[in-house]
Amino acid sequence: MRTREKAALAVAGLAVAAAGGTVFAGTSGAVGPSPSPSVEAAETSCVTDGAGLCTVPHALGAVPAVVVVSPNTPGQFNAYMLNTVQGSYTATTFQVRAMFNQTTPKAGGTIWFSYAAYGGAPKPTATPTKTTPTKTTLPTATTPEPTPLG
């Protein structure tokens, strides 16, 4: 299967998952153009910490502008809300938080989800330097002294 077909299937899977369907059977590799994808879509899982947080690696090569997540629950009674954590995006990771309700995190449990990370602008490799013009001093004109006639 070609990369474009994999990406289309991943996006379709996210749409089905967002509509409440189950499309998750295991983890998948991220898909996107090579060598530096501007979009990465995948299914993954992780174990949350005491606050319901886990860190997810990505291969965009830039800080994502947007990350869309959708939980994939293995059973009808395992529902949880899943959100990205504001300010957690880096060039290699982002964080998600799973909650059973507004005040109860899904702590110390495995969560399964799909995500699509959309790359932002690549970081510049060189910083432009500001140049200041140099002041040029022109010589002053002198008038010759009159020569006496004699």
- Give per-residue pLDDT as tens, 86-138: 999 999 999 999 999 999 999 999 999 999 999 875 555 555 566 666 666 66
Residue 99 in any domain: the answer is yes
Residue 91 burial (C-beta neighbours within 10 Å; 0-12, 13-18, 19+): middle
CB 90 within 8 Å of CB 84: no
Number of compact structural domains in the chain = 1
- Is residue 14 in a domain? yes
Residue 118: which residues within 8 A CB-CB, separation 6 or more? 38, 39, 64, 65, 66, 67, 68
Structural domain including 58 reads 3-119
- Residue 134 covered by a domain: no
User: For 23-82, what is each residue's pLDDT tens digit?
Assistant: 444 455 555 555 555 899 999 999 999 999 999 999 988 999 999 999 998 777 778 999
Residue 90: CATH number of its domain = 2.60.40.3940
Residue 133 covered by a domain: no
Q: Is residue 109 assigned to a domain?
A: yes
